[in-house]
Amino acid sequence: MANILYETIGRNYQVPGLPYEEKFEYVKPVVFDDVPTRKDVVDLLSTADSKTLVNPWSLQVIRGFRDYLPTTFKRITHKMPSDTLEELFGVDANWIPESDRILLQLQCETEAKGATLDAAIVHDRMSLGTVVNKAHTLNRLYMIGRLYGHLNERPGYPFLFGDLSDKTTWHDALSDMKLQFIDYIREMPLGSTRYKIRTRKADVGADEIKDYPFIEWFKQKLGDNFMGALLYGSAARTKDPALYSDFDNWVRVHDVQAAHKVLRGTCPAVLDGKVVEGDASHAPGAKHLGVHLFPEDDEYLFRHILFLHDSKEFRKHTRILYGQFPFPVQPMEEIIERGLSHAHLKLKTIAGSLNWGYSAPEKIVGSPNLFEFIAKNKRFFLQNMLNAIATPQFRDKQVLDALLRTRGMEVQKYRDDPDYIREALISTFIDTFALQKEFVAYSRTPKLDFLGHTSVAADPAGHWDRLDDLG
């Protein structure tokens, strides 16, 4: 059993004008001195009231946030006594993170949070909560970026994207949000590192391309707008259909919003050697067709790939099925740091999902992709942790699952059972926090020289205290 080391309560920041589904007035971070047990978690969440969002954390996770998600660290600890801050985290109450730490967090979050918008549009994975959350994220990242001068000033803040309480606007609103995420990636500083570019071209012959019928489907749907497709994930590494459940693709187009209009709500999947749409995509044996749209210009592709958790994995372990893609060749030290930044963002995502996963697991019933998105983060965190503290190398999910088993962990598979879903999410939370404890024990120091940015803390707008709300 872990002990509560620190807890506080404050107003739950909401962007004025957005129609939030959850009406939490307060947020209550609770920091345990160790990885909490199942009983610790259940006891804490079961006492929460309807007005308060309770976020359980561990000391080890907060130490990681100090380095990789500094605005979240600030929000959780901003009322902590200065002597406690110094004892536990080596900073005092006046500490302001260096500009490069903020920049790495922004690059990571912008890439990760913007990557799921196309799936929402193409596969109709939309609810008021998810749509408003994306709008909230864009507003939050903008304010953080402006405080440090990492994003350009733009008119219209706060960004409301129309009347989001009207679900008929969601497709267009999400498409507009996608363009704003793209703008953020184009605007952020890159640092002084210079990278070699390796352009990969289609590496699939005329006979083999028949194994990927969705290429013809993309051509038919998108016409001249279609520029390229890169297949990633397990399907890019094996032909055994038993070893993969989907075909995930980067799709390069001339016009992203035109592609959205054509693909919205098609819900494509591959079944019996052809692409099916709509209800047929849920038939037994159908392989989900994932679509992540990229604009045409090489500069954007370069930046987006640079901000990934592991560009080498995408450069070495994917297949170009059509067109071409430029890849920056990053030093492994940089890849490790970016991977750790993304891994800590996953910790935050897992903790954030725990509240509604515990109180309303029925919301995930019928959404296996959402469940798996959360559950498989154990693999993601373990991979990036081992890159940092052991040998940096690619590990497929079979290897990672074996390594998890040596730690008494597993990645749960989806079931249409609310009680099972609740327990699986609690297990994912505890296990991932345990992996973070293992990582922190190595006392690793971040190496952010690749950003080439100032190492002096900066607060150009003089409003660092606002990040208490924007963590």
Last residue of a domain, one of 155, 170, 191: 191
CA 66 to chain centre: 18
Question: Is residue 217 located within the same domain as residue 306?
Answer: yes
**Contact yes or no for 388/336 (Cβ under 8 A):** yes
Tell me whether residue 339 is in a domain. no
Determine the length of the chain: 471
Return mean pLDDT, the chain. Answer: 92
Share of the chain above pLDDT 70, in %: 96
HSE (side-chain half, CA atoms, 13 Å) at 80: 28
The count of domains in the chain is 2
List CB contacts of 328: < 8 A, sequence separation 6 or more.
195, 196, 197, 302, 305, 306, 311
Residue 469 pLDDT class (50, 70, 90 cuts): low
Last residue of a domain, one of 147, 162, 191: 191
Residue 471 predicted with pLDDT over 80: no
Q: With CA atoms as reference, report the closest residue to 159 among 131, 144, 145, 138.
A: 138
The pLDDT assigned to 457 comes to: 46
Question: Is residue 128 located within the same domain as residue 226?
Answer: no
Last residue of a domain, one of 328, 346, 377: 328
Tell me whether residue 5 is in a domain. no
**Contact yes or no for 13/467 (Cβ under 8 A):** no
**pLDDT for 130-151, tens place per residue?**
999 999 999 999 999 998 899 9
What interhelical angle do 377-389 and 418-440 show, nearest 10? 10
The alpha carbon torsion through 171, 284, 115, 133 (nearest 10 deg) reads: 60
Tell me whether residue 457 is in a domain. no
Tell me whether residue 259 is in a domain. yes
CATH number, position 229: 3.30.460
Tell me whether residue 319 is in a domain. yes
Q: Where are the alpha helices (DSSP H) in 94-195?
A: 99-114, 117-122, 128-147, 170-187
Question: Is residue 247 located within the same domain as residue 303?
Answer: yes
Q: With CA atoms as reference, report the closest residue to 295 among 330, 264, 260.
A: 260
Question: Is residue 175 located within the same domain as residue 206?
Answer: no
| CA gap 239, 323 in Å, rounded | 21
Question: Is residue 180 located within the same domain as residue 213?
Answer: no
Share of the chain above pLDDT 90, in %: 77
The pLDDT assigned to 401 comes to: 97
Question: Is residue 275 located within the same domain as residue 160?
Answer: no
Question: Is residue 295 located within the same domain as residue 221?
Answer: yes
Residue with tokens 């790495």: 104
Mean pLDDT calculated for residue range 299-319:
95
**pLDDT for 23-41, tens place per residue?**
889 999 999 999 999 999 9
Question: Is residue 212 located within the same domain as residue 320?
Answer: yes
Residues of the domain holding 306: 196-328
Residue 454 pLDDT class (50, 70, 90 cuts): very low
Question: Is residue 205 located within the same domain as residue 321?
Answer: yes
HSE (side-chain half, CA atoms, 13 Å) at 137: 24
Question: Is residue 113 located within the same domain as residue 141?
Answer: yes
Question: Is residue 180 located within the same domain as residue 298?
Answer: no
Residue 339 pLDDT class (50, 70, 90 cuts): very high
**pLDDT for 73-109, tens place per residue?**
999 998 899 999 999 999 988 888 888 999 999 999 9
Question: Is residue 211 located within the same domain as residue 290?
Answer: yes
**pLDDT for 41-66, tens place per residue?**
999 998 888 888 899 999 999 999 99
Cβ atoms < 10 Å from Cβ of 164: 21
Could you please report the per-residue DSSP string of 321-350?
EESEEEEEE--HHHHHHHHHHHHHHHHHHH
In this predicted structure, which of 181-195, 305-319, 327-341, 442-456 has the lowest mean pLDDT? 442-456
Which secondary structure element, helix H or strand E, spans residue 400, and what is its range? helix 397-405
Which secondary structure element, helix H or strand E, spans residue 300, and what is its range? helix 298-306
CA 195 to chain centre: 25
Residue 470 pLDDT class (50, 70, 90 cuts): low
Tell me whether residue 202 is in a domain. yes
Tell me whether residue 92 is in a domain. no
Tell me whether residue 88 is in a domain. no
Identify any residues that bridge with 98 across adjacent strands, giving them in sequence order. Answer: 457
Q: With CA atoms as reference, report the closest residue to 334 among 308, 314, 316.
A: 308
Identify any residues that bridge with 58 across adjacent strands, giving them in sequence order. Answer: 32
